[in-house]
A and B are shown apart, each in its own frame.
Chain A
Amino acid sequence: ESTLSVSNGLGMIASFDRSTGEMDRVLSQTKIFGGAYSDEVDLRLELQWGYYTPFNSEHDTIPGDDYGQSSGAYVFRPSMPNQPLNVLPTCKSGKDSTRFVPTPLGLEVHTFYGHDDECWVHQIVRVTQDQPWIEVEYTVGPVPIKDGRGKEVVSRFLTPDIANNGVFFTDSNARAFLKRQRDYRPSWNLTTVHEPIAGNYYPVTAAIFLQDENTSFAVLTDRARGGSSIVDGTLEVKVQRRTLVDDRHGVGEPLNETVGGMTPYPPFGDATRMGRGVIVSGVHRLMVGGGNTGAQLARSAMDGIFAQPLIFVGSAPSDLNHTNVTDTTLEDEEA
């Protein structure tokens, strides 16, 4: 009774905890040729939201260290080198922190995250008929900064059953997938790791995945991201950054847009009203498969995510749909 499981009709079943709305596992049988199914993969999967506080040279610099390199457009640097992710708790938006919403094609599970009931992350997990992935649509922001700290917002995927031993894969401009090994450089001998988090973040433009000989898990992004596997059995992708101090490499201001959301130009909003911060929306698509199939999973969907269908809409009087042409019209026309 405690879980609700839904299928997409293609052999993938996602289970959610009824009381919290949290996802807890995915069963997946990939349909192979001839309609048969591959053996079933049963993967525990939990979605987390959190943030790293960015290095702020005005108060994080160690006395005497004048090399206060703040986090910013050109640098990702958490305020402490091995700062654990500040995990966001769920919070109540309206009467509850989670909602199961049936849709004509499937199910949406809405969950809200934030502090002291200021919900600033809204996550919609969708399982949809005939779609080979689990869709995670998120709206993040305005990122609160009243605690005087910036925040670099991360979506983390926990797959404790996958023993990836510090190895994960990210795409190189949607072409080759490159093997990444935590705290390791293929081209030189990395002996001292100064930044165990920032030093293990890599560019992701289409997908990031981890795998072992039994199971693979891929996250397909809809735009360029930074991503990593900081802890074995997890993947994370950074979705939004808000810093309070300039990194002194660029345009002389921190990543702290406060015009957020509202266009300050009439007619949408008056120029005097400054927003509380940028709001971003995006979609991650999660795919689960058998052992060492991460690249195959990602490739099967990433071109379609890049080149999404174009939608055109028009209208016409409904009587135009049905031919009410009489023979005379026909004769006239032929005449």
Chain B
Amino acid sequence: SHPFYELEDALGVVQHHDSITGTGKEHVARDYSRRVQAGIDKATPHVLSIILNQMFPNRTLKSAIDLQNSGLQERLEETLQYCPLLLNESICEAATNTVFEGGKENMYVVVYNPLYQQSLQPRTWVVRVPVSMPGIYSVERVDDDIILSRDQTGNNKQLVHARVVNARNDNYTTHENNTIWQVEFLAGPLLPLGAVTYRVALQQPLGETESLNEDDEILPNNFIEIS
């Protein structure tokens, strides 16, 4: 009955060399991924509750700030979902369903570090999430400052151009054409078994044409060009 049992069982089955090397028949390969996905679907709610408890440790409603938080907590409990963001598919409904128009909604991205040992370098990770529209987005780390986020002077706010990329593996993408908009930012430092939370908000919508498209040769300013 443990929520992880089905995933463990599936991972036991996929130890077969056909699964590891992909030499089985195609429908067998798809059956392996179906089993693993079923295990992930069963385990995710349990992991989500761990994450949410970490984000909003149970607090008595001792202050107005918590009142604000409880609204955010309820909303994220409804909408937070695991986004595999694999190489061959660009699926994340929670991201592409966020209504950025008119600043109506913001997107929250929680990055959870499953490593338990501390690495030499502080761990950072490039996060690429699909968004529903082109534009310039602010990405602001708000994890344990969620309560105080209104005070943030924005000093940890990055401004990021959403850029157009080719959707992976056009079977699954729900996008009519084959391109999607993507926001990319560096998350971290990530502590062992720790989670950090970012709020992504649309700062300035851009028309599809004026957005930074793949052919622009301008180099980002954080790169030095060495002759």
Binding site for B on A (CB under 8 A): 1, 4-7, 9-10, 13, 72-73, 99-107, 110, 127-132, 137, 139, 223-224, 241, 250-251, 253, 255, 257, 259, 261-263, 268-269, 278-283, 300, 303-304, 307-318, 320-325, 327, 329-330, 333
Contacts and interface: CB of A to CB of B under 8 A. Distances in A.
10 contacts: A1-B227, A10-B121, A102-B217, A269-B171, A281-B168, A309-B127, A309-B187, A312-B110, A322-B68, A325-B67
A321 B106 contact: yes
Contacts of B171: 261-263, 268-269
A320 B72 contact: yes
B81 interface: yes
A312 B186 contact: no
B119 A6 contact: no
Q: Which 9 A-B pairs have the closest CB atoms?
A: A314-B80, A73-B23, A325-B64, A315-B98, A281-B87, A314-B79, A316-B75, A5-B226, A312-B110
Given A313-B107, A325-B68, A261 B169 contact: yes
Contacts of B111: 309-311
Interface in B66-82: 67-68, 71-72, 75-76, 78-82
B20 A128 contact: no
A129 B171 CA distance: 32
Interface of B: 18, 20-26, 30, 47-48, 51, 61, 63-65, 67-68, 71-72, 75-76, 78-85, 87-88, 92, 94-95, 97-99, 103-115, 117, 119-121, 123-127, 129, 142, 149-150, 158, 160-161, 163, 168-172, 184-188, 190, 199, 201, 212, 214-220, 222-227
A92 to B, nearest CB: 15
A323 B25 contact: no
A128 B126 contact: yes
A310 B126 contact: no
A310 B109 contact: no
Nearest to A257: B26
Contacts of A257: 25-26
Contact of B72 (A104, A307, A316): A316
B109 A311 contact: yes
Contacts of B51: 312
Given A281-B88, A282-B87, A321-B149, A300 B107 contact: no
Given A73-B23, A315-B94, A323-B150, A329 B87 contact: no
A137 B87 contact: yes
A199 B40 CA distance: 38
Given A309-B113, A312-B48, A316-B76, A99 B225 contact: no
Contacts of A106: 220, 222-223
Contacts of A102: 212, 216-220, 223
Given A312-B82, A321-B142, 4 more contacts: A99-B214, A310-B47, A313-B109, A333-B61
Given A137-B87, A323-B150, A315 B92 contact: no
Contacts of A327: 64
Given A105-B184, A255-B23, A333-B61, A313 B81 contact: yes
B94 A311 contact: no
Nearest to A103: B184
Given A312-B48, A312-B109, A313-B108, A129 B222 contact: yes
A283 B222 CA distance: 24
